Structure 1
């Protein structure tokens, strides 16, 4: 059985593919529900193309890096990428967490302002960069125009590179014949779950889908942020002991007791593919050894999210952000009147039979 199907490799591929499939399926279901091929086909096709291009670009880079790692391993007889593994995992984890958080906050407003968001998305992808714009303005323009490309790209890149490194680690001593079937089954299992989520998202009510998917994405983002901090701390511990702490197992020496909040000598997501604990690690950030940094960062993430939503709610009701002066205070124009005028303008500008491109002209 071991010579044909490597169970640790299956769990690694499954858990890495699962997180990517969930995020991609949520994005595709969101695009189909809000834009759809029967509403704004041109804009819908562009955004779906961005998602798939992001996946393809991430996979391409993973394949290139994977080939480089294999060449370096057999050429130098040494895994030169292992020392930087925790560093790039932490960096990509923070980036993905920030992107998911910002996108989740925007998704919840879509059903309430669906027509407005359709216009906003269309304008964003068709807008051109202003000449002489500063770096911050250029970055904002790029992130808005290619938002549907960035998240799949970062996710696939992070999960793919992580899978390559983990498979390289657990695959030492295993025959080559045990890899193909395990990799294919792991990827297929992750894709099937993502497809089911995509189908379920299409059939459910938009607001229900947005709430459930956003809550789940925030759980993933919180785990990513906490895991990123844990990776940074574990990298420092590796430097102290002069090796890879994961090679010592789950007991003494595998963690820095000075930074430990709690630890269990089991349920390690980094050993032999991690099994179910590896899936929990990928989706929710589970670690069998919690540190001050990982626990504080997890709670800090949720605190920031709560404050952010409270501020958004305040802005929605009062017309300005907390501790900031109202924009309508001096003009004598009430928020209700402004909202009414805006709603009237949108109804005039957007007719059921009018396409997005016609509105722009």
Structure 2
């Protein structure tokens, strides 16, 4: 699948560049605007952090984060040629499913806090002593996967049901695709 996507993208780009109808300028402009937008967002975000921080720790941490992301970016760029795209998309797909399950359980928690959903709100378990939400690992897990140290039964159920359904669909065997018959030109 990755090879066919790549081939299709290359064909579309070549067609846009060869068309002579301004497709090349549109492609260049789109890439420029996308990068410029992300750059401006980063500048505004960092400017706000720099102005609100009392000492040098936060700005230095932000600059270290930028440097680290540049190193990771170069690593991905130069190492990306060797990456097996099938495995890469498989693992990132699994990661996205777990993130989505956490988002779904967070939605249920927010609906309860808004007074819209009040079923299954008894605590399922309490990990406040083991992994509190206020700790660094708890905060990271909360931000990435929707972790909560004392979730309600409904949150755990919706998280588990979502993962059961999506992982079943994700891991189901794909039907073998039979190649289409190509007519042979007669002599």
Shorter-chain TM band: 0.5 to 0.7
The aligned counterpart of 1:53 is 34
Residue by residue over 1:248-267, the C-alpha shift from the partner in whole angstroms, topping out at 9 and shown as x without a partner, is: xxxxxxxxxx5311122243
Query: Do 1:223 and 1:298's aligned partners in 2 also have CA atoms closer than 8 Å?
Result: yes
| Aligned residue pair count | 164
- Note if 1:293 corresponds to 2:143: no
Query: Do 2:122 and 2:153's aligned partners in 1 also have CA atoms closer than 8 Å?
Result: yes
- Note if 1:220 corresponds to 2:99: yes
Report the secondary structure of 1:263's partner residue.
Answer: coil
Structure 2 residue runs without a partner (length 5+): 17-23, 116-120
- Note if 1:268 corresponds to 2:132: yes
CA distance 1:260–1:217, change in 2 (3 Å): same
The aligned counterpart of 2:139 is 278
C-alpha deviation, 1:180, in angstroms: 1.2
C-alpha deviation, 1:283, in angstroms: 2.5
Residue by residue over 1:299-352, the C-alpha shift from the partner in whole angstroms, topping out at 9 and shown as x without a partner, is: 122233145447884xx46xxxxxxxxxxxxxxxxx95xx514xx38xxxxxxx
| Aligned mates of 2:83, 2:143 — CA distance in 1 | 26
Q: How does 1:162-201 map to 2 (within 5 A)?
A: 175-189=54-68, 192-193=71-72, 196=75, 199-201=78-80
CA distance 1:264–1:191, change in 2 (3 Å): farther
| Aligned mates of 1:229, 1:63 — CA distance in 2 | 32
C-alpha deviation, 1:219, in angstroms: 2.5
Report the secondary structure of 2:148's partner residue.
Answer: coil
Residue by residue over 1:149-168, the C-alpha shift from the partner in whole angstroms, topping out at 9 and shown as x without a partner, is: xxxxxxxxxxxxxxx8xxxx
Residue by residue over 1:279-316, the C-alpha shift from the partner in whole angstroms, topping out at 9 and shown as x without a partner, is: 22222322212222321221122233145447884xx4
The aligned counterpart of 1:10 is none
The aligned counterpart of 1:203 is 82
| Aligned mates of 2:94, 2:40 — CA distance in 1 | 27
CA distance 1:311–1:204, change in 2 (3 Å): closer
Match of 2:13 among 42, 46, 49: 42
CA distance 1:57–1:185, change in 2 (3 Å): closer
Residue by residue over 1:71-110, the C-alpha shift from the partner in whole angstroms, topping out at 9 and shown as x without a partner, is: xxxxxxxxxxxxxxxxxxxxxxxxxxxxxxxxxxxxxxxx
The aligned counterpart of 1:230 is 109
| Aligned mates of 1:259, 1:62 — CA distance in 2 | 44
Report the secondary structure of 2:125's partner residue.
Answer: strand
| Aligned mates of 1:281, 1:221 — CA distance in 2 | 12
C-alpha deviation, 1:42, in angstroms: 2.3
| Aligned mates of 2:124, 2:36 — CA distance in 1 | 37
**TM-score, length of structure 2 as denominator length:** 0.57
Structure 1 residue runs without a partner (length 5+): 1-29, 71-163, 165-170, 237-257, 318-334, 346-361
Report the secondary structure of 2:151's partner residue.
Answer: strand
